[in-house]
Amino acid sequence: MSAQGLIGKKLGMTQVYDASGALVPVTVIAAGPCVVVQRKSAANDGYEAVQLGFGEVKESRTTKPLLGHCKKAGVSPQRFFAEFAVDKAATLKEGDAVTVAVFEGTPYVDVTGITKGLGFQGVVKRHRMRGGPMSHGGHSKRRIGSIGANAFPARVHKGKRMPGRAGRVRVTMQNLQVIEVQRDKNLLLVKGAVPGPTGGILLVRKALKKPGTAS
């Protein structure tokens, strides 16, 4: 069994026709090729996994620890790293390439990415609070209102929903249907949208909750 996922890049959205002639919106992901930077084993690390690297980078653009880490594996410096589970019998080793072919025959995948940043937002938009009366006499139309008691405990409770920066959080979309695997172009087409902007880095894994996707 090969790695259970890949690092990829979101190229954007388009639409394709399926076998029945229906128009399906899809996200195009450049999935790999990734290189194995480290092979972890149950004997040495307590679990079976591979660390994959994605996106070559100049030696001058990386840190010395990461540069030495990549040279130890005999690979060029990589920009992004991520771990993926493998079976104990997997034959992957440092320097091997992992391509989008790992998703052939996989009906569903889980995609993890960083959502778009929305900047500073008030509580009405950030937390969907109701706000105050919007009539002429209202003086707290989109304000937060009371944030605590007056004398006791004389502080704002932890976790109070407040204005602040919205978006740019790690989100996983589960059970996205795989529409097509273009092995020659290292492209993966999944149904629907995935987190993040165009050009964002994604972690694509075989779905855990759908049947028939563990192999």
**Digit-coded pLDDT (tens) for 40-81:** 988 899 999 999 999 999 999 999 999 999 999 999 999 999
In a domain, 16, yes or no: yes
- Angle 157-158-162 (CA atoms, 0-180°, nearest 5)? 85
Per-residue model confidence (pLDDT) at position 211 = 64
pLDDT above 90: residue 2: no
On whether both 25 and 103 belong to a single domain, the answer is yes
- Structure confidence at residue 57 (pLDDT): 93
pLDDT of residue 34: 95
**pLDDT > 70: percent of the chain:** 97
For residue 108, what pLDDT is reported?
A: 96
Q: What CA–CA distance (Å, rounded) separates 184 from 169?
A: 33
CA 178 – CA 71 distance, rounded (Å): 35
* 124 and 31 in a common domain: no
Sheet holding 97-98, edge to edge: 78-85, 49-56, 34-40, 97-98
pLDDT confidence bin for 145, thresholds 50/70/90:
confident
For residue 151, the model assigns a pLDDT of 85
Write the pLDDT tens digit of every residue in 102-136. 999 999 999 999 999 999 999 999 999 998 899 99
pLDDT, position 87: 79
Task: Please give the Cα distance from 97 to 52 (Å, whole number).
Answer: 9
Q: Are residues 132 and 199 in the same domain?
A: no
Number of structural domains, the chain? 2
Nearest to 107 by CA among 3, 180, 16: 180
Residue 157 lies in a domain: yes
pLDDT per residue over 84-103, tens digit each? 998 777 788 899 999 999 99
pLDDT value, residue 15: 96
Please name the helix (run of DSSP H) or strand (run of DSSP E) that holds residue 175, with its range, or none: strand 170-182
Predicted confidence band at 82 (pLDDT cuts at 50, 70, 90)? very high
Q: Is residue 211 part of a domain?
A: no
Q: Is the pLDDT of residue 215 over 60?
A: no
100 found inside a domain? yes
Task: List the domain range (segments joined by +) for residue 125.
Answer: 119-167
